[in-house]
Amino acid sequence: MKNFLYTVLLSLIVASCAPGGEQTHKIEDLENFLALVEEENKKDGPVIYSASWISSNFITYDSQKVIADYGTRYTLKSLERSRQASNFDNLDTSPENKRMLSILKSSFVMPPPLDKTLASELSQISTGLEAMYGTGEYCYEDGACYDLEAFESIIDNSRDPDELLKAWKGWHEIGKPMKPMYMRMVEIGNEGSKDLGYEGLSDLWFSKYDMPADEFLDETDRVWEEVKPLYDALHCHVRAKLNDYYGDEIVSESGPLPVHLLGNMWGQSWSNIYDLVYTEESNSNSVDVTKIIADKNINEIQMVEYAEDFFISIGFDPLPETFWERSLFVKPRDRSVVCHASAWNLDPANNDLRIKMCIERNEEDFITIHHELGHIFYYQAYNHLPTLFQGGANDGFHEAFGDLLTLSITPDYLTKIDFISEEQANIAKEDPIGLLMKQALEGVVVVPWALMLDKWRSGVFNGDIKEDELNTLWWQLREEYQGIGTSDDRTEEYFDPGAKYHIPGNTPYTRYYLARIMQYQFHEALCNQINFDGYLHECSIYGNKDAGEKIISTMAMGESLPWQDAFENITGSRKLSGTSILNYYAPLKEWLDEQNQDRVCGWN
């Protein structure tokens, strides 16, 4: 079967590259081609996604072999579609058809050349790297073995610096064997990108934003410069508080923050050290959602039901029964799974929507569930469109809509769902700094991390970062953008980027940067539209159908129009801006500036 398919594809290449072939294509040819693509997408998509679902939920030799085989065949067919799409570049056709052709040509993340051997090798490397991450564990000399969840439990909860460093180092051991595989994957991907007409992977990745790649990257840097003073003020305060707690020998008063002390394996969120960095007496009045979940004995399924209720309250249709029957909510005891939370649109025609998540009964996962359902309801909103338009307006939109709802998890919202009383909500609102600090330790902290990660990856793709300096420049960029470092000597023996899922999993990360900026612009625009009168951080759109209609109408556009059109539909603007995030955290920034008056800020 594989040889037959490959023979067919080669014959298509020959036909599409025949002399004079480009001049003979007509509108009718294009419409027939797009109709064929639509038919094949509806047939092939559910099959490849089902195979991928199995490979993530049943990590075995056979499941990895199946997805590698399916992935190879699907990729080869998709590559040929892209090459055929190029034959219509000079054809005068509708904007809709031109957009479909553009999406077809830029739909890859890691394309191989149209070569069976290289496509198979790339597929095997990709699935192998994901499996290495999903089954990753480190065993100590005493025989004790820890996987990511076990190590994260220590990082999230311990205050012992030696124990924290040991756990951090243990998980990062998994990256070592990934390095040669990752670099080989990049080599093949660059070759495939050039075959598609791009300069390489970096050019391919940043060509998907309806504007020149250089102009887009300039925009991301411009917005970061707007947000940076807020991050710098937060960094300065957090470092001072960690220095108070751990002392000068562990936390310098002027250097980078030690990554293992930040309450998160990657230092991308500092929310787990909230109690160390905000120690005001009123801190005791903050809302502890984890405790509420435990006190109310809310189980994992019920946590998802609360998130679904939010979307229903603003006008979305309930999720189909198959979502509840087929999703993974709790980590199985009998097998290895990829526990990284994700949302799945397996069969759009039949609304087969699922999440895959090893839910923990805590506040962090309560928020994450709202985020993942943001993806699910986005799928549901645009699944009526042609398959080529079934996507976010840009890849940041999907993350932004998920994150948007988390900004509405306010004391007033928690009152409406009977988590707390009105009196408790009023008490919590008396301390806006405590509320904003808790959010900023995640929502602001992640911004430079999200920007830096793809800057490193782009440097690897285009060759600016060489194989013998992968880890060194990883940490240089982390210090430059985040002011984060490690007390451990991280030589080129290590491959610390591999300890973050999105590197071996080949998930572009700029989407998360865009999402963090856009979610605050979305939130401010919606709160203005519903005439909310009060501090921006107190606004919740829960139960507001007008806000829901604006969200649903934007989601329903899918990828059918340039992202600026969808952005304008919900915000009234076509331009990214850091102003909304600054407006949201304005009371916190003022407080931080007062706290930091006699401190040395910045880092060496």
pTM of the model: 0.85
Beta strands at 484-485 and 257-258: parallel, antiparallel or unpaired = parallel
Q: How confident is the model at residue 5 (pLDDT cuts 50, 70, 90)?
A: very low
Average pLDDT taken over every residue of the chain: 90
In the set 226, 246, 341, 556, the catalytic residue is 341
* Total Cβ atoms within 10 A of residue 106: 17
In the set 70, 512, 520, 585, the catalytic residue is 512
Q: Average pLDDT of 333-341? A: 84
Check if 278 is active-site: no
Q: What is the pLDDT of residues 267-295, one digit of tens each?
A: 999 999 999 999 865 455 678 899 999 99
pLDDT at 23 > cutoff 50: no
Determine the pLDDT at residue 400. Answer: 94
Q: Is 312 helix (H, G, I), strand (E, B) or coil?
A: helix
Q: Are 458 and 202 in contact (CB under 8 A)?
A: yes
In the set 308, 372, 479, 559, the catalytic residue is 372
pLDDT at 260 > cutoff 70: yes
Q: What is the pLDDT of residues 32-74, one digit of tens each?
A: 999 999 999 999 888 888 988 888 888 888 888 888 888 778 8
Check if 371 is active-site: yes
C-alpha to C-alpha distance for 588 and 371, rounded to whole angstroms: 24
Q: How confident is the model at residue 13 (pLDDT cuts 50, 70, 90)?
A: very low
State both tokens at 518: 């856009």
Check if 512 is active-site: yes
Determine the pLDDT at residue 559. Answer: 96
**Close Cβ partners of 26 (under 8 Å, ≥ 6 residues apart):** 91
Q: Where are the domains of the chain?
A: 2-132+180-205
Q: Average pLDDT of 83-105? A: 88
Nearest to 320, CA basis, from 369, 359, 269, 377 = 377
C-alpha to C-alpha distance for 405 and 407, rounded to whole angstroms: 5
Determine the pLDDT at residue 26. Answer: 84
pLDDT at 229 > cutoff 70: yes
Determine the pLDDT at residue 256. Answer: 97
Q: What is the pLDDT of residues 100-133, one digit of tens each?
A: 998 988 888 898 887 889 988 998 999 899 889 9
Determine the pLDDT at residue 153. Answer: 93
C-alpha to C-alpha distance for 406 and 397, rounded to whole angstroms: 15
Of 49-53, 411-415, 557-561, the range with the lowest mean pLDDT is 49-53
Determine the pLDDT at residue 280. Answer: 66
State both tokens at 69: 């085989």
Q: What is the pLDDT of residues 133-161, one digit of tens each?
A: 989 999 998 889 999 989 999 999 999 99
Check if 25 is active-site: no
Check if 370 is active-site: no
pLDDT at 1 > cutoff 60: no
In the set 235, 237, 370, 371, the catalytic residue is 371
